[in-house]
Structure 1
Amino acid sequence: MSGLAHEFMMFDSRDEATRFVTQFIAGGLTKALELKGTASLMVSGGSTPGPIFDALATTELDWARVMVGLVDERWVNPEDDASNERLVRSRLLKANAGAAGFLPMKTMDAMPQEAVADRDKAYAPHCEPADVVFLGMGEDGHTASWFPGSKDLSAALESENVVAAVDATGCPVAGENPQRITLTGKGVTSASSVILLIFGEAKKAVFDTAIMSSVQEKPIKYAIDKLGPRLTVVWAA
């Protein structure tokens, strides 16, 4: 466990929180570009990131030197509404950010387990460490595809690789898409900086509970403990 705590920032409105997260991500990428000439950004899907992707897309950066990847992905076709790749391509990888590189997680393989070796090889150069990781959190306390009760949770968290396959069958929040591919504990928590955006009182309560919970109960706890001050949490009602 890290000896230093994460930063928790509260905003009066979701618009203010969105602006801060956009600036945080852009700042992290700018710093990486200045230091080493390239930058990597790993992003989450869901309903929350869309406005941030829209804002980042028009941000002035040398996007041609940025590689964008996914924190996790459902094993669905990229045209599917449930696809995180679809969201990123339609909301982030356009305008200025259209020049960025992109690393899909979904392959033509029938199951994510068959794609892990290939995707780990593709992601490793950009996740050891990633420069900026943008996380979300579900009301069950999951982040990435680290679901409480998943039979693959421990393996995904403790893997020496940066990508793992997850079978989340039986985990309610996984819904109709239990087959997933995800960044591992290492893939997320080795990052130079991580920002977690949560909205609403319910998720704040989940986060507060997670701090005192076990990793198996609330997997976001793994990120909280391992990242320490490299984790910035942003919340608005």
Structure 2
Amino acid sequence: MKKFVEVLADKTSLIERARAVVVDKIVSAIASNGQCSIALAGGSTPKPLYEALAQEDLPWEKIHIFWGDERYVAPDHKDSNQRMARQAWLDKVAIPESNIHPVPTQAQNPTTDAESYEVVVKDSLPVEDGTFPKFDIILLGMGDDGHTASLFPQTPVLNETTKAIAVGNKDGEPRITFTVPLINQANCVLFLVSGKNKQTALEQVFAPQGDAITYPSRLINPQGELWWLLDLDAGAKLEATVSG
């Protein structure tokens, strides 16, 4: 694993750096494989990144979009990660609808929908014998409790080792989420973290020794590249290059 940690001067600089990295990774993946698979994050931090990507001139027909986790709500619900990404980015570019692979949430059974999404992911991506599907890019955020995707502290899904997609739990509400081994199979995992309220969790995640069940972002160690892009509010206490 190659690890990169950058602390940017402010959120605007964070988003611009993320845009540059994501575009570079998309272009590189297409040059190598003829297409690029990217899994999106929810939450407020990546929205301006998606808005910036909507301004890019990219070969959209070669880009396939997935989601790393989803609330168990209808696609048009205000809390839907799919809805946010479509409004900020996907509805504004000429990407074929067949290249957009949202998490299903309509079966009235989260386990059934998680299993269905695993089939979609495995049918869409390369899977080497005995391993998990390999994404080119997975975008992640991190909560002030150290969770990422819908991998929340002290929840059973953290121990999942055989499924690529599983059901997580947030305060008793189901979430469909990528599992740790699926995320760690990726060529590039990119965390975007903003805000002073993330400082304590980041210290725990970056500590030489720590409890990954309490701070699940510690579990993310991909076989490819791991990028942590932080604004200064989030990363002020970490030793990293400050730029922007």
| TM-score, shorter chain, exceeding 0.5 | yes
Percent identity of equivalent pairs: 25
Q: Secondary structure at the match of 1:232?
A: strand
Amino acid at match of 2:23: A
Q: Residue 36 of structure 1 is aligned with which of 27, 33, 36?
A: 33
Aligned residues: 222
In the alignment, does 2:231 pair up with 1:232?
no
Aligned to 1:20, the other structure's residue is in SS state helix
Deviations 1:6-44 (A, max 9, x none): 221011121111011011111111101001101101010
Partner of 1:207: 202
Change (3 A) 1:97 1:18: farther
2:230 aligns to what SS in structure 1?
strand
Q: CA deviation at 1:94?
A: 2.7
Q: Provide the residue aligned with 2:56 in structure 1.
A: 59
Gaps of 5+ in 1: 171-177
Secondary structure (helix, strand or coil) at the match of 1:194 reads strand
User: Which residue of structure 1 lines up, in the alignment, with residue 166 of structure 2?
Assistant: 164
Task: Report matched runs for 1:136-155 at 5 Å.
Answer: 136-155=141-160
SS at match of 1:88: helix
Asked whether the 8 Å contact 2:37–2:135 carries over to 1, the reply is yes
Change (3 A) 1:90 1:197: same
Of 186, 190, 193, 1:191 maps to 186
- 2:114 maps to a residue whose letter is V
Partners of 2:198 and 2:94 in 1: how far apart? 30
Deviation at 1:113, TM superposition (A): 0.7
Partner of 2:241: none
Deviation at 1:186, TM superposition (A): 1.9
- The one-letter amino acid of 1:166's match is G
Contact preservation (8 Å) 1:75, 1:111? no
- Using the TM superposition, give the Cα deviation of residue 179 of structure 1 relative to its aligned residue in structure 2, in angstroms: 0.7
- Which one of 9, 12, 25 corresponds to residue 9 of structure 2? 12
Unaligned runs of 5+ in 2: 126-131, 234-244
The answer to whether the 8 A contact 1:75-1:179 is kept is yes
| Alignment root-mean-square deviation, CA | 1.8
CA drift at 1:194: 1.1
Q: Deviations over 1:149-188 (max 9, x none)?
A: 2233312xx2x33211123345xxxxxxx21101111221
Alpha-carbon deviations, 1:105-150, whole Å to 9, x = none? 1232102111222110101233721001110000000001000022
Contact 2:184-2:223 within 8 A present in 1 as well:
no
Q: CA deviation at 1:227?
A: 2.4
Distance change (3 Å), C-alpha of 1:183 and 1:97: farther
CA drift of 1:208 comes to: 1.6
* Moved segments of 4+, more than 4 Å: none
Q: What TM-score comes out, normalization by structure 1 length?
A: 0.87
Residue from 40, 46, 67 that aligns with 1:49: 46
Task: Spell out, residue by residue over 1:62-111, the C-alpha distance to the aligned partner (whole angstroms, 9 max, x if none).
Answer: 11111000010010011111100111111120333544621111232102
| Higher share of residues assigned helix | 1
User: What secondary structure sits across from 1:94 in the alignment?
Assistant: helix
